[in-house]
Chain A
């Protein structure tokens, strides 16, 4: 059954969604266990695929038995296998986390919430594995539609935010579709490997159609990943969404679009075609604008959730900037940051949701003495904060290390300065929170006052929300220390793809 693993971890959430639809109508509480078991099964098969890819190189799974350009097929190399594992991990932890918030806020409709949740995971996993450009559009639409509904089930203002997201998201997806159309017009195929093969053999890269196709594809993907000028929809959408949806879509939706951008850059257009194009000059400056904008806005926010959304915008700036420095090292750095940033964003959302559920904390000023009230969650929160600032043992430091070395390697000093300023802004943000969290809000006159140590004061987050927080912050540290295998796998794949001999 192992050779069907790529399909298994796609179908497991899909079938689970259907089962929940059926079972949920009678007994609401069956939704949660089915979701968790399905996601753990798909995680297992995703890890199996990753190991198989690690050993035997890229796995090609032809859908419907048709060979390369005629049918749709999966081309799973190390990048897509890693993304698949990342998605299953994030989805599983969010599913475990979501029991309490979903039960309390939209309990009676949980039999609708979980199918949408699982269909989103199916769509996003499909995006990571497919090798067909048009199929990618359909999967983007699947995940987009589910995310509109997942957002709209939140607070009062989430409905209008979801509508704006729908308009901008569909615009972006349709621009992507148009870009694929331009590619098809010029090359005649839809399969990514085939596109690259034809574009290199006929040296089509310089023709205006392919250039405009690149512009359309990139603008479409930037809209979907909320890169700086097109990020308008993200802050509202993820601030008012229910916390499990924000925890699911925050790390996944934008990061998968970065993966798609990298996939198009190296597998379809080819790195050597992109290096000498004028893109590598002006796109990093756009990314720098995004980093500076995101960091400044995050500094000025009081609501925790809105602050995290602006941090996401800044992090997207890191990845796009690094990717478009267009050297193998910089794309490795960008991809590693995709993974580490997904984990960090998820951890932030989970901790904030835990604080919201137990102590109704929404803004920075509510976080008085939170370290005493919820010590374990705050330990997880501070690990993530240190990782975002870039303090050594965490994965944030390693990704910052590789991003800066990519900057130095490409000699792009403004990008490095922007990175350092952003990590300093993160430091200010999080230490402001630590100050209020550890030392309380109103400065105590003199320093003789008692503190309350009674039991009522100390109330930790519910068990099902605490475990994901701890697992994620532990994985951030572990990913930081044991990062070599991941870096190794990513860089060999990227160099083999762009190293000329295009792996079929």
Chain B
């Protein structure tokens, strides 16, 4: 596990930030060049991340320190296995989302596309910043910058609901991060005698916290501080952010924002508190019960939603709580499951969002009740939708199956019947709110079908993007090993 100085993580972060310049320069007049520079930046970023993968897989940890902001803490990157998994997911999906948004934005003749692509690129660079963050302060810096850069994307439509959604988005994210996270972080910094907040093997909290009540309060402050993970009391910004155009909600739900929330919570569990310390104090239980509650309630609400995107939003809240549930099990299977579920859910959910966007772009339909018989009109989209749904539910032949398998295995290993039941029940509920859509789309009676029989897909770029992600979901099921080896190695390293 020897450390290695390298500025690869910095380059990876700065590529997309650098892409902002050509995007703004080309602007609206030379659109193709602008889109080309976005995709080029995406590919470059993915290549740099891929260059890092062999090094990390070989056990090295790349770190890069910039400047000491507060005595004892520097703005530092420390890339380990867990960070690289998330970075891979984020940078690969960015390329796909860029392709998709070309189709979507041009199809609907959206306004202010330059602003959209610029802020999208900034959001991605901050996401990678969070992925590579070496200590709690750097994590906080990029976490805040991500909220700032995604706000203009959420209020992209500039109409009433978009502004309400944007205000709600900011109130929740800024409120919880400044309200809970900042004091908790400073408390740790002060109480740990001013030495660094680095994510160490068994965390630095154990050095100054002994009685469990303080630990619980601190843990809850951190867990609710990262409101991006959408835990129950602070989740309603997520459905509110559905007003954004679909590539943004795809970014929000699959690629960057919510994943950053969950990523930070896992970092807090493993790097700040340390798994043994949590096991010893046995305070993982509380978080797992909160997560379980969120899973069940969000799945029930999703059932009642008629708007397709809102239903997908609530299903995301449920899936995120799976990940939090997994990490709070504090055993190898739970942690592996939660880490891999980040990737699996990302591919699954992004496909579903792309399909929702394609349907809206092609037919203008938003509500599920209007989508009876759409399978005949847009077969590829609906097949991709089916694959995505299978991955989210956790059925075989789609990536989600493996990660859910590990999560369930984790609950059994911990002899937690209650959590096991929640897992199974919520999988059933997932099925309950996804399969009716697919059945109605394909197997409805001819007289009920609202669409004629001729095939009329959405913008070709959009169809390509959603098919890539659907195929990706299936590939993840067939070749899960590279991802799972990384995840298992990371989990064992956290536990040892």
Which residues on A are within 8 Å of B, measured CB to CB? 386, 389-393, 398, 400-401, 404-405, 408-409, 416, 420, 423-424, 427-428, 431, 435, 438-440, 443-451, 453, 480-484, 487
Contact = CB atoms under 8 A, between A and B. Distances in A.
B140 interface: yes
A423 B178 contact: yes
B187 interface: yes
A447 B144 contact: no
Nearest to A482: B67
A458 B174 CA distance: 32
B68 interface: yes
B167 A443 contact: no
B111 A420 contact: no
Interface stretch (B30-38, B95-103, B154-162): B154-162
Interface in B287-318: none
B67 A450 contact: no
Interface stretch (B48-56, B145-153, B350-358, B423-431): B145-153
Given A401-B70, A435-B155, A389 B174 contact: yes
A409 B145 contact: no
Q: Which of B70, B109, B186 has the most CB of A within 10 A?
A: B186
16 contacts: A386-B148, A392-B140, A401-B186, A404-B183, A408-B187, A408-B190, A420-B182, A428-B171, A431-B151, A431-B167, A431-B170, A443-B159, A443-B163, A481-B67, A482-B67, A487-B71
B494 interface: no
A176 to B, nearest CB: 35
B373 interface: no
A427 B174 contact: yes
Given A392-B140, A435-B155, A439-B163, A453 B28 contact: yes
B127 to A, nearest CB: 15
Contact of B183 (A391, A416, A440): A416
Contact of A404 (B115, B174, B182): B182
Contact of B182 (A400, A449, A481, A482): A400
Contacts of A449: 111
Contacts of A408: 183, 186-187, 190
B141 interface: yes
B182 A443 contact: no
Contact of A392 (B110, B112, B145): B145
B94 interface: no
A22 to B, nearest CB: 49
B230 to A, nearest CB: 20
Interface of B: 28, 67-71, 109-112, 115, 140-141, 144-145, 148, 151-152, 155-160, 162-163, 166-167, 170-171, 174-175, 178-179, 182-183, 186-187, 189-190
B158 to A, nearest CB: 4
Contacts of A416: 183
Contacts of A423: 178
Contacts of A439: 155, 158, 162-163
A389 B175 CA distance: 11
Contacts of B167: 431, 435
Q: Which of A400, A420, A435, A453 has the most CB of B within 10 A?
A: A435
A127 B496 CA distance: 61
Nearest to B180: A420
Contacts of A400: 182
A427 B147 CA distance: 12
Contacts of A445: 159
A481 B141 CA distance: 12
Given A391-B148, A424-B175, A435-B166, A447 B187 contact: no
Contacts of A405: 186, 189-190
Contacts of B160: 443
Contacts of A443: 158-160, 162-163
Contacts of A446: 159
A42 B313 CA distance: 60
Contacts of B140: 392
A404 B183 CA distance: 7
Nearest to B140: A392
Contacts of B109: 448
A409 B159 CA distance: 45
The 5 tightest CB contacts between A and B, nearest first, are: A392-B141, A439-B158, A447-B157, A443-B159, A443-B160
B208 to A, nearest CB: 13
Contacts of B67: 481-482
